[in-house]
Structure 1
Amino acid sequence: MRERRDATTGAAEPMAGGGQMGPATEVFLAHRNLLFTVAYEMLGSAADAEDALQETWLRWVKVDLGQVSDQRAYLIRIATRRSLDRLRTMRRLKEDYVGSWLPEPLLTAPDVAEDVELAESVSMALMLVLETLSPTERAVFVLREVFAIGYEEIAAAVGKTPGTVRQIAHRARRHVDARRPREVVSPGQARAALESFRRALETRDLQGLLDVLAPEVVLVSDGGGVKQAAPQPIIGAGKVARMIVSGLGKAQVTLTSEPTVVNGNPALLLRVDGEIDGVIAARVEDARITGLYYVRNPDKLTRIASETPLTLR
């Protein structure tokens, strides 16, 4: 049996005679988008999710498929374990991260936005809430609440008993529910709020910003030590609006923005003097913006040029 390098997995894959994919490859590729979604929701990083999938693939091709009764569940179990290992390492690395850390934004297709559950689960707002969980809590929450995986299967993936997993799931759900957006607004409501913000941003209209920002709005910006960004979140409509207007005034640049869809939710792609500067995602409640998430770190802007397929199935 010969091998070829697969552009999708990046790994050497076994091929049957005549260049056809082997059964392990077919099964893996059939579930690849699901596995990526699982890994991304656990890690918040597309690059690390891809690495987790690479490791999943390398283990999967060594499995005797004849001994696997549920191939989808088995793949999710492997991907979860690989993601958990990476998540624990990432938590240590984030302690040295310069400034605030935000998830890597993904340009997504319309079908992601149309799937309310999927769009909420990968939204910047919820992904940031998941950052406050321990690695095991995050894995359990994602598998149970997002993908509806059974407790026994989750237990096998995270190395706990089903009873312990139930307790972790309850604790994680309570933690997330206390911090997630109070309501899930429609894409139309989110677009309307962002359009008002966009107009005020481009015209540097202080009052326009104050009108669309909720009093308790929080601005989080991520420059990764490469681009300038506020070292800590900025809280309050007045502070956020004044910082935006004064910052643009001092910079003396031409700022333009265009609507886009990031992580299944309306967002803005910002350009400064014609060059991509970053992506702004928003948390909208009661028609006003309660959270602004501005990703400027160039290393996190590699997935905004082409759509990333995500799925819950």
Structure 2
Amino acid sequence: MPDQAAAARDAAEEASALSHPPVAPDATAAYGAHPDQVIDFYAPRGGAGHVPSGAEAAGTAPLVVVLHGGAWRSRYDRRHVTPFADFLARRGFAVANVEYRRGETDATATGSATGSTQAVAAGSGSGSGSGSAEASAAGAVGATGSTDASGGATPVAGRWPETFDDVAAALDALPALAREALPRADVNRTVLTGHSAGGHLALWAAARHLLPADAAWRTDRPAPLRGVVALAPLADFEVAEKLAVCEGAARQLLGGDEHFALRRPYADPSLLLPTGIATTLVQGRTDVVVPQAVAESYADAAAKAGEVVGLTLLEDVGHFPLIDPAADACAVVAEEIAQLAW
């Protein structure tokens, strides 16, 4: 258990990260029919010195795909990372901020999913997921979860298989959607990033070619990515569960005790190695939400599989500064992305 000082520091860092007003995207596109199957796009704005002159003259920019965190729970949607997405866009990147279906609550587990931040036009799925149709509840989910219709019930982490369906479908549809929404985006220079639970999804999405043969999400070749930058990711489910990360969120994501062991090979990034894709983990040493040991365990598993994974450890940094534009740690994240993208 974190001590009181660590808990107070984490609360202050979270408050800072979530204090920024949401930033509206330049465009939004649906990759499926469900209201949560949507991607927000941010055009590169430049101005921070990260765009090499040659690339700037050519009018193209790398595409950074952002997968938000929040323990795969419905009370956190993509709005809380829109300032982070805008921060990256202002540093010269084209940005795609992906929404996906998250967990319901015990009170609504047999009903509809909580709503997304904005309505989207109905469309067809990309074909990589099951695409089960479910009605959206009225009302948007706030960045801090203030409108989670749980009625005090315990929030459930993730939805099996829909969370994975959506991430696979979004990544499959993304190149075509990005070309239309962001003409300056160079989809051949795509970097995948994600924070916390989103960091898990980023690592998982980069490892789909290593999934078991019967997995619906499996691809026949590695994703065409420049790399992955996973921020405080839930990268090793066994270690995360031993540490009770996010109140057992990884176990909930897979459907509870009866499914955990059976579904881990389909979902746990630490079991899906080596990916052959350049990967860096960025982790705060004082993170009490997803402790450093989780990232270290993934890096160790990668090394045992014959793959070198970068691990950038930041002193006196907790969980939330990694996505807080006001924090120095966020600039470090942008630098790590730039090293892979340019």
More helix by share: 1
**Structure of larger gyration radius:** 1
